[in-house]
Amino acid sequence: MENTEKSKKNRPILTFLDRYLNVSEAKVTYLTRVTPIDRILAKTFLPLLPKRVTPNRITQFRLVSIPFVLYFFIAHYFLVGTILFLFSAFSDALDGALARTTNQVTTWGTLYDPIADKLLVGLTALVLVSQYLGWNLALTICFIEILLISSAYFRYKGRVTPAKTIAKMKMILQCVGIIFLLFFILFGTPWLLIAARLTLYLSVIFALLTLFVFRSI
């Protein structure tokens, strides 16, 4: 009985999800499991953050940064846009690691963190990938991201599946591909454009696996 009470006390606050989305105890445990990357960040970058910074505030920063990132790219301020994009993309790793390692997982963060990622990648792809790598690839990335956002509800249904790792791999590949593209724009090195195209095509494969195999964002 004492162990049960202790487990409930240490469990993250996910009441809305438990009540309305039928999230099982096993799934909550899975979504809040600390990963090896979380541990690395906890020893390197997380100690540099001010104590008042919460995971949700980092997610909010990413959401607020998206219009500025798009503006700088549309206005061809690529250096400033690239720096802001790098900060925004890296914040995706920070908020999740901070939430899981300090037991600050919340309903809001669980829902809006992946949505912020998809908006950042999808809209950036619409602006840059369409211009330098073609509309077909840009629209494919955006279309899959829209499908993933619309299927977010189903992430909390059914049995637990190992979708977190592959979804993160998809996000990493997308960000790396866009970074290759941004460096090509900044420095004009031809192989960077090839690397960007190949990496983004690979990210599409991972996105399809995330959508159709694991049914999770």
- Looking at per-residue confidence, does 12 or 66 come out higher? 66
Residues 112-158 have pLDDT tens digits of 888 898 899 999 999 999 999 999 999 999 988 888 777 655 555 44
Domain ranges for the chain: 2-42+52-213
Q: Looking at the whole model, is its pTM more than 0.85? A: no
Other C-beta atoms closer than 10 Å to the C-beta of 162 total 10
What is the pLDDT at residue 4? 46
What is the pLDDT at residue 138? 95
What is the pLDDT at residue 163? 46
Residues 183-206 have pLDDT tens digits of 999 999 999 999 999 999 999 998
CA-based nearest residue to 141, from 171, 111, 181: 171
As a CATH number, domain 2-42+52-213 is: 1.20.120
**Alpha carbons 11 and 3: distance in angstroms, whole number:** 12
**Alpha carbons 181 and 179: distance in angstroms, whole number:** 5
Residues 76-113 have pLDDT tens digits of 999 999 999 999 999 999 998 999 899 888 878 877 88
- Check whether 70 has a pLDDT greater than 80: yes
